[in-house]
Amino acid sequence: MSLDSSNSKQRSINSTSSNNQSNTSNSKKRKSNQKTLGMAWGANSLSGSRPSFRSSPFSDFGSYMAVKNKKLQNQFDAQASNSSRSDSYTKPIFDGVSIFVDGFTIPSSQELRQYMLNYGGRFENYFSRHRVTHIICSNLPDSKIKNLRSFSSGLPVVKPMWILDSVAANKLLSWVPYQLNQLANNQPTLSSFFTPKSKPADEGAFTNPICEVKHETGLLCLKDASKDASFSEAGNSFEWRKQATEEHNKLMCENSNKTLIDEPSNRYSEEPKEVEVLEPTNLQEDDESLANNRHQSCPEQSSASVSSHCFDNRGIRGSPRSSVIGPSKQRHSTLKDPNFVENYFKNSRLHFIGTWRNRYRNRFPSLSNGWTKSTNSDVSAGTQKTPIIHIDMDCFFVSVVIRSHPELNDKPVAVCHSYNPKGTAEISSANYSARDYGIKAGMFVRDAKGLCPQLVILPYNFEAYEEVADKFYNILHKHCNRVQAVSCDEAFLDVTDLEGRDPQLLASAIRKEIYEATGCSASAGIAKNMLMARLATSTAKPNGQCYIHPERVDEYLDPLPLKALPGIGHVLAEKLKNKNVQTCGQLRLISKDSLQKDFGIKTGEMLWNYSRGVDNRLVGMIQESKSVGAEVNWGVRFRDFQHAQHFLLDLCKEVSLRLQGCGVQGRTFTLKIKKRRKDAGEPTKFMGCGDCENLSHSITVSIATDDIEVLQRITKQLFGSFHIDVKDIRGVGLQVSRLESADTSRQAPERNSLKSWLMSASESSKEQFDINSIAKECMGTDSEGKNMDGNSSVLHNASVENSVHGINKPSNGEGCSNQNSSVPPLCDLDMGVVESLPSELLSEINEIYGGKLFELITKRKVRGDNSSRSLCFIPPEPALEVEAETSHNSDPVSLSRPAVEMRDEQPILQELQTVPDSGARSNSVAISTAGLENNDLVPSSLSQLDTSVLQQLPEELRADIFEALPAHRIQETSAMGPKTDNERHPLGIKSAADNQPGSTGTGLSNNLWIGNPPLWVDKFKVSNLPILKFVADMYYKANSPESLSSILQCTLAESLHPLDSTCDAWNEAIHSFNELLMSYVKLKIVVDIEEIYVCFRLLRRLSTKSEFFLEVYNLTFPHLQASVDENYGGTLNIHRHN
């Protein structure tokens, strides 16, 4: 079966032309013996099952084909190199393109082959999903159209003209316009949705061809994209690295600003220039994101799926909408659009409206806060005659878009997120002429078109909205300093201050100015209060204004249907209708009491007030949102659990950003899931959620957070509790409620946590690394630092793998300074950790920092000063014996027991700080928090603890766990505990406490534990015994000072300097302390033996360090046991015999 090059042409003609007949008849039969040919559809009509074939050197048909393909390729390559040599003018425009010609084409497949030869492409004689990138054909039989997927394996099916035109243009054109007509007109199928659909950017109208792209291709929108070069599909395997160049906190309001960076390693990037042209100047033009392909080793490997949807904005810009969905079985891809959530929200109008407020607040921060308080005083005076102007842009979302299309002014226009031939997208907003046809928001495009065939559908233009909204507010703020923003296009003005001016004139002036500035009209309502002003606006619309004189309010309201009132929705209106109340006039006849009885106090009062035109709200009272969240109910299709997890993480990110944007933190987290009903099919609305059950679970944690890691953790947990098949999920929403202001939650518990954390942390700084744990530690460090970077709370659940990832990425992508997961700033690095790293790692990190790290280290070494500032560097992590075995010795048991056995501790802080490398190796630290199953699980750091569990633990228990953690980790825990300010100065605090004027301690009474702070604290503080003073100080530093165990724990952690100094009053001190303990035992023995147990365990530990405590312990212990025996009939197992 050898072929020489002369007849290869002939053969390939034969084989390709025979495809059509053969594949139907033979493919089934052959299936069994051609694994490798599974995709080689119609490859050869000659059969593998022929007996004669068996005698060939090939063991089976598959291997024969493999060899044959290889040979054909070699021939092709040889020819290609010949032809390119002979014709040096051609450039390899088809680089990366590998075509397969199906059936009869004009020009013939041989000519096409020649083109591919000459222009750097590949030509496949036999179809292979892995090698072919494009299928070229002119016509397809019906059966193939119907079963496009199995026919094309998701590859683009393109007309041969594409090749010719590309050659003529001497560059690779987008194949999209050349898509086979039969396909382009086809209805979008779910599977095809996964691949990009787009349209050439130079066409004004929406065509929505479905194209199957082999790889995810970015929709590149070129600034000068007059031609349809906006697609780079040729390379197909470009790997784009997306970078968020923006700070987190800006992300919400400003659209994130992404740039694409072409990986230098990209083998197939044939149009790097396009990449660079990419809208570099326009910040708003952000999301040419897309190509999210991790680099694939083999370019032919088809991979999943982004669908990009291009909207034509001024013929230049594209705002791709991507969604990831669904399992495509033929593709074995694990890829998805990693940015689905982000892109989703970028293209969501609701999101725009929802997040707009933050943008507004950022723009007018002083304005929105500054005057609210001052206005409160003149409330009563003002309500009488306060003129309120309510101003509202007329069909904002449409008019902004069409202002650049004056020809559309009188035509019915609607805005919609997408346009597809099925017409299953929903209208978001329609202008007045469209509304005349009965078109409403929320209507399907299909239905709208039915009502008004000439309806023009336009896409959103978010940056134009922002621009107009900004102008709108600029004007409002110019005229009036009391502006309450309701939404991006709607606001209330309180013009009381502007007494000199007629509000009506003012309103028309503002409207005129708005029109001039933005080209969009606005309507205004003027009345005595917000309610009436709003109602007036609805009368005034469109493009008008209306003044309701205070005396004519009743007249205005009487005939008003109830539904026109804000706050009265379907349900309420329906209820009232049942009572035969349909207008405000009728409503007014009902007494307040009976309204309140029927509808509840608040609603009743509202009804009563509103029906009389009474509205006591003040302009500028911004209602704080009760919850912050994000919900995605469109385009949600998960292929597997991982996929869903990934989505959740993104959602968390979004929510976290929103929380941070609003400056709040929440305690209750609700995960809502829309689950497809069992019998529900694909929804009518394309990619919509259809008929769903709404499920929700929520968790409340004790400490408010906005930290993404915590959020993700909690969300994962919540998600797990659904026990749901991810394939049934049609929508996911995460809501955070019980909001607290981020500032207060950061400050309040500061006293308790921070000081003690820092103090105890410093103590542990002497610990050296176990060499085993170094790798782990350093990973931990990296992510730790990262977390501190954004001032979010530091609580990471980064597994080692994650962290490795984190560390590697920067090093690979070195040079890209703005990496998404960037390295923490130098100053955030824990130098102690860094210095203890193995040298290879250190130098790698150093590289990341461009050498600055070494400098810093040197500087640190030189700097001998041991000022407390060195505490600001997070102390090095103590050793964590990773091997679980060691935990046997150290009794890994209980949470309540501080399981950290610190030995070799050196009391001098300075020494530790400056010479961390020489620190003594600490002994093993073994803590067990233990999963349910695991006997002695040793969480070496909080990252291995389930935070949400931790957060739900009672205060003391949590303290116990923290206690049990290596002390430095406590820093992390401060994230779980109250947020703290790292700059605090533990030594300062301490010295302040030390400066108490000393006097002699006196006898201690029995009620030592009464009072706040308890009596003993004062007694100890004024005592002249250093040890007692020290303990008293600990009271202020302890996490929960009401419990002695916490104080002792603190003492244990704090005892940096020798506790023992013999003095005259040695005995007195022992006596005092003994008394304190006995008093405590007495207090707690009946109700809380656990606390006593913990105290004495701690005491025992202290006794190994200090003579003083040893004596106290020995003195107190018998009393303790007697007391326990009395109450419990046993003795406390302090020494742990079992």
Among 4, 589, 1087, 1118, binds other proteins (CB under 8 A): 1087
Q: Is 1122 in the site for other proteins (CB under 8 A)?
A: no
**Would you give the distance in Å from CA 31 to the centre of its chain?**
46
Q: Is 889 in the site for other proteins (CB under 8 A)?
A: no
Q: Which of residues 716-775 bind other proteins (CB under 8 A)?
A: 721
From the list 8-16, 214-222, 798-806, 885-893, the region that binds other proteins by CB under 8 A is 885-893
Q: Is 55 in the site for other proteins (CB under 8 A)?
A: no
Pick from 284, 174, 281: which is nearest to 234 by CA?
174
Distance CA 19, CA 44 (A): 7
- DSSP H stretches of helix in 1000-1062: 1015-1022, 1026-1037, 1044-1054
Judged by beta carbon, residue 154 or residue 892, the one nearer other proteins is: 892
Phi, psi of 414 (to 5 degrees): -135, 155
Judged by beta carbon, residue 767 or residue 956, the one nearer other proteins is: 956
Question: Shortest gap between Cβ of 952 and other proteins (angstroms)?
Answer: 7
Q: Is 724 exposed, middle or buried (0-12, 13-18, 19+ CB in 10 A)?
A: middle
Judged by beta carbon, residue 118 or residue 1039, the one nearer other proteins is: 1039
Judged by beta carbon, residue 953 or residue 993, the one nearer other proteins is: 953
The answer to whether the CB of 476 falls within 8 A of the CB of 491 is yes
Distance CA 856, CA 709 (A): 30
Return the CA Rg of the chain: 36
Q: Is 1138 in the site for other proteins (CB under 8 A)?
A: yes
Is 392 a known ligand-binding residue? yes
Binding mask 223-252 for other proteins (x = CB under 8 A): ------------------------------
Among 2, 681, 932, 1118, binds other proteins (CB under 8 A): 932
Distance CA 90, CA 76 (A): 17
Q: Is 439 exposed, middle or buried (0-12, 13-18, 19+ CB in 10 A)?
A: buried
Judged by beta carbon, residue 324 or residue 1120, the one nearer other proteins is: 1120
Among 369, 376, 1000, 1133, binds other proteins (CB under 8 A): 1133
DSSP class per residue in 932-976:
SS-SS---SSGGGS-HHHHHHS-HHHHHHHHHHS-GGGHHHHHHH
Distance CA 257, CA 278 (A): 12
Instruction: Tell me how long the chain is.
Output: 1138
Distance CA 54, CA 51 (A): 6
Question: Shortest gap between Cβ of 1131 and other proteins (angstroms)?
Answer: 6
SS3 for 673? strand
Q: Is 1081 in the site for other proteins (CB under 8 A)?
A: no
Judged by beta carbon, residue 67 or residue 699, the one nearer other proteins is: 699
Judged by beta carbon, residue 13 or residue 699, the one nearer other proteins is: 699
Among 929, 951, 973, 1055, binds other proteins (CB under 8 A): 929
Judged by beta carbon, residue 391 or residue 1092, the one nearer other proteins is: 1092
User: Which two three-digit tokens encode residue 489?
Assistant: 């296009």
SS3 for 866? coil
Q: Please enumerate in sequence order all residues whose Cβ is within 8 A of that of 88, keeping only pairs 6 or more positions apart, or say none.
A: none
Distance CA 929, CA 175 (A): 59
Q: Is 451 in the site for other proteins (CB under 8 A)?
A: no
Question: Shortest gap between Cβ of 1117 and other proteins (angstroms)?
Answer: 14
Q: Is 883 in the site for other proteins (CB under 8 A)?
A: no
User: Which two three-digit tokens encode residue 243?
Assistant: 């970078």
From the list 208-216, 673-681, 892-900, 916-924, the region that binds other proteins by CB under 8 A is 892-900
Q: Is 1118 in the site for other proteins (CB under 8 A)?
A: no
Judged by beta carbon, residue 954 or residue 1003, the one nearer other proteins is: 954
Distance CA 911, CA 765 (A): 10
Q: Which residues pair with 414 in a beta bridge?
A: 430, 457
Q: Is 202 in the site for other proteins (CB under 8 A)?
A: no
Q: Is 953 in the site for other proteins (CB under 8 A)?
A: yes
Among 1088, 1100, 1107, 1110, binds other proteins (CB under 8 A): 1088
Q: Which residues pair with 491 in a beta bridge?
A: 391, 485
Judged by beta carbon, residue 391 or residue 899, the one nearer other proteins is: 899
Distance CA 137, CA 776 (A): 56
At 711, the amino acid letter reads L
The answer to whether the CB of 136 falls within 8 A of the CB of 99 is yes
User: Count residues contacting other proteins (CB under 8 A)?
Assistant: 38
User: Which two three-digit tokens encode residue 639?
Assistant: 């292929």
Q: Is 1083 in the site for other proteins (CB under 8 A)?
A: no
Q: Is 1137 in the site for other proteins (CB under 8 A)?
A: yes
Judged by beta carbon, residue 414 or residue 964, the one nearer other proteins is: 964
Angle, helices 61-86 vs 109-118, to 10°: value is: 60
The answer to whether the CB of 632 falls within 8 A of the CB of 341 is yes
Long-range contacts of 165-170 (CB under 8 A, 24+ apart): 166/93, 166/94, 166/119, 167/93, 167/115, 167/119, 170/91, 170/93
Q: Is 105 in the site for other proteins (CB under 8 A)?
A: no
Question: Shortest gap between Cβ of 895 and other proteins (angstroms)?
Answer: 6
Decide if 490 is catalytic.
yes
Q: Is 158 in the site for other proteins (CB under 8 A)?
A: no
Judged by beta carbon, residue 509 or residue 930, the one nearer other proteins is: 930
Among 935, 1002, 1005, 1007, binds other proteins (CB under 8 A): 935
Question: Shortest gap between Cβ of 749 and other proteins (angstroms)?
Answer: 18
At 449, the amino acid letter reads K
Q: Is 957 in the site for other proteins (CB under 8 A)?
A: yes
Element housing 369 (H / E): helix 365-370
Is 743 a known ligand-binding residue? no
Question: Shortest gap between Cβ of 1125 and other proteins (angstroms)?
Answer: 6
From the list 146-154, 330-338, 371-379, 945-953, the region that binds other proteins by CB under 8 A is 945-953
Q: Which of residues 503-562 bind other proteins (CB under 8 A)?
A: none
Among 259, 803, 894, 973, binds other proteins (CB under 8 A): 894
User: Which two three-digit tokens encode residue 738?
Assistant: 């019980």
Report cis status (omega within 30 of 0) of the bond before 1013.
yes
Q: Is 892 in the site for other proteins (CB under 8 A)?
A: yes
User: Which two three-digit tokens encode residue 430?
Assistant: 């329609």
From the list 364-372, 611-619, 927-935, 1069-1077, the region that binds other proteins by CB under 8 A is 927-935
From the list 270-278, 340-348, 924-932, 1018-1026, the region that binds other proteins by CB under 8 A is 924-932
Pick from 199, 218, 195: which is nearest to 292 by CA?
218
From the list 285-293, 492-500, 887-895, 1039-1047, the region that binds other proteins by CB under 8 A is 887-895
Q: Is 928 in the site for other proteins (CB under 8 A)?
A: yes
The answer to whether the CB of 773 falls within 8 A of the CB of 735 is no
Is 489 a known ligand-binding residue? yes
Annotated catalytic residue: which of 239, 342, 490, 835? 490
At 683, the amino acid letter reads P
Pairing of strands 545-547, 522-527: parallel
Question: Shortest gap between Cβ of 1016 and other proteins (angstroms)?
Answer: 21
DSSP class per residue in 206-271:
----B---SS---B---TTTTSSTTB--SS----EEEEE-S-HHHHTTSPP-EEEEE-TT-SS---
Among 84, 952, 996, 1040, binds other proteins (CB under 8 A): 952
Q: Is 422 exposed, middle or buried (0-12, 13-18, 19+ CB in 10 A)?
A: middle
Among 1089, 1107, 1115, 1119, binds other proteins (CB under 8 A): 1089
Q: Is 930 in the site for other proteins (CB under 8 A)?
A: yes
> Residues comprising the binding site?
392, 489-490
Judged by the rule CB under 8 A, the positions of this chain that interact with other proteins are: 699, 721, 891-896, 928-930, 932, 935-936, 949, 952-954, 957, 1086-1093, 1124-1125, 1128-1133, 1136-1138
> Residues comprising the binding site for Mg(2+)?
392, 489-490
Give the residue numbers annotated as catalytic, written as ranges.
490
